[in-house]
Amino acid sequence: MAKKTRPPLKLNHNLSVKEVMQKSLISAKFDTLLVDAIALLKEYGISGLVVLDNYGEFVGVVSALDIFKAVNEGDNVENLVVDDVMTPFTITVFPDASIADAALTMMENNIHRLVVTESPTSKKPIGIVTSTDLVNNLI
């Protein structure tokens, strides 16, 4: 019996990141207590936070998976700050990029969210686009 093949996944190539991104960022500073970051994740029902430095510039992401890893390694989350467990993150996307390009970047880097910045030299986040945002705009 021949294996059934599915047609390739199609994203609406006419949409840009700025049309689907979340402009309201939920973030934490790098020195935020991890228990406070966990409280933010719970409060907003999200799985990751953008991490900012003292200048409001993007320095990383802390996700539920990062927290699970710390707990699994035996770390006491009450003694940790976001910087201890975050993923230093340099992959960004620009507002005018297509959502197909954003999806490809996520797949190539095995990540679920991209911070949106105005330009390659800017570290000021203007939004975030998640894999869920992209799935909601299939076809």
Domain ranges of the chain: 17-135
Torsions phi, psi for 111 (to 5 deg): -125, 165
Q: pLDDT digit string (tens) for 13-49? A: 678 999 999 999 999 999 999 999 999 999 999 999 9
**Measured between alpha carbons, how far is 115 from 96 in angstroms, rounded to an integer?**
13
Bridge partner list, 61:
50, 87
| This prediction's pTM | 0.82
The fourth-level CATH superfamily of domain 17-135 is CBS-domain (3.10.580.10)
Distances (CA, A) of 97 to 1, 21, 117: 42, 11, 11
Q: pLDDT digit string (tens) for 41-72? A: 999 999 999 999 999 999 999 999 999 999 88
- On the CB side of 27, CA atoms within 13 Å amount to 23
